Amino acid sequence: MDYMKDIKEISAEEAVILWQASRLSLSKIYEKAPEILKVQGSVIGTLGNFSASIGKAKSKKTFNVSAIVAAALKNGTVLRYVAELPEEKRKILYVDTEQSPYHCLKVMKRILRMAGLPDDRDNEHLEFLALRKYTPEQRIRIVEQAIYNTPDIGLVIIDGIRDMVYDINSPGESTRIISKLMQWTDDRQIHIHTILHQNKGDDNTRGHIGTELNNKAETVLQITKSTQDGNISEVKAMHIRDREFDPFAFRINDSALPEAVDGYVFKQPSQDRGFPLAELTEQQHRTALENGFGKQVIYGYENVLKTLKQGYASIGYKRGRNIHVDLNKFLVNKRMIVKEGKGYRYNPDFHY
């Protein structure tokens, strides 16, 4: 696939116009992005940005996203999600790239039932697209036309962002589709929520597109099947710009709808008590990472661990390899370290 054909050269005159239009000024007023999706008071979605849900197979990712859409459809609360879309942004576009029209219809009916709406007729606020039979290029074009030509659109779900590219490990294709998400959300002042699978063997999102999502998304929700009860799924914020919310759990009830599990006790991850990752202050982390990484891009996992060991030793925390493995996961999840291609770098703009 030649994704480069979509890249167009611009003239010097066009570049000057874009330059001038991009300049910020203290004499102007810039409005804060409207907050449309929350969990327990924490903002997970604003207009002009995009977010994602990730999880392994059978983790109930689509059920979880159905709850988000149902909350937006009723402009209220469903599961633990609270939606508040402006009146002129009430239209929702749900795009499914994987399932047949028959199974897509089941998802559509589920959303309507969760919102307390009739499931035997179309709803004016919900449009559902089944794009399984199309190519990645065709899917992009269809979604783009729908976004730019649907009045009052406020929320877009892309269930299967992986199917918008031919190769999930292609840096060019990944950058292109993430750039599309940023362009669409900014131009139309909407929120886009995408769904992507995780690797089977670890908690990393799949391919280069997963890395780009982690680095650019406003929020990344992780849906995990409970190790204590296979009928329960856990939801937590893997990355979030706002304050982190308490994780919650849900199960599928007898009506085939997700419902919250009250009183569920989450299994606490094992952590070395001599290395309080979350208890270190923001400034301690900054100092350690600045001393270790500086402005370098570190290549190779073992080199990253060595860099962490040096950086955190400089602030008095000398620990072994296993602890630095946990530390690396913690820092990547917090976006204090970001992965770019095969390299890792310190991100001074993290939100602690």
- 7-61 pLDDT tens trace: 567 788 888 888 888 888 888 877 778 999 999 999 999 999 999 999 988 889 9
Q: Do both 53 and 197 map to the same domain?
A: yes
- CATH code of the domain in which 300 resides: 1.10.10
Q: Do both 43 and 150 map to the same domain?
A: yes
The 10 Å Cβ neighbour count of residue 119 is 15
Tally of domains in the chain: 2
Task: Give per-residue pLDDT as tens, 102-130.
Answer: 999 999 999 999 999 999 999 999 999 99
CA distance 206 to 219: 17
Mean pLDDT of 206-232: 86
Domain containing 290 equals 282-346
In a domain, 276, yes or no: no
Q: Do both 225 and 181 map to the same domain?
A: yes
- Amino acid letter for position 11: S
Task: Give per-residue pLDDT as tens, 155-183.
Answer: 999 999 999 999 888 888 988 999 999 99
**Residue 348: predicted pLDDT:** 87
CA distance 60 to 53: 11
Q: What is the mean pLDDT of the chain?
A: 87
CA distance 249 to 226: 9
Q: How confident is the model at residue 6 (pLDDT cuts 50, 70, 90)?
A: low
Torsional class of 70: left (φ above 0), alpha (ψ -120 to 50), beta (otherwise): alpha
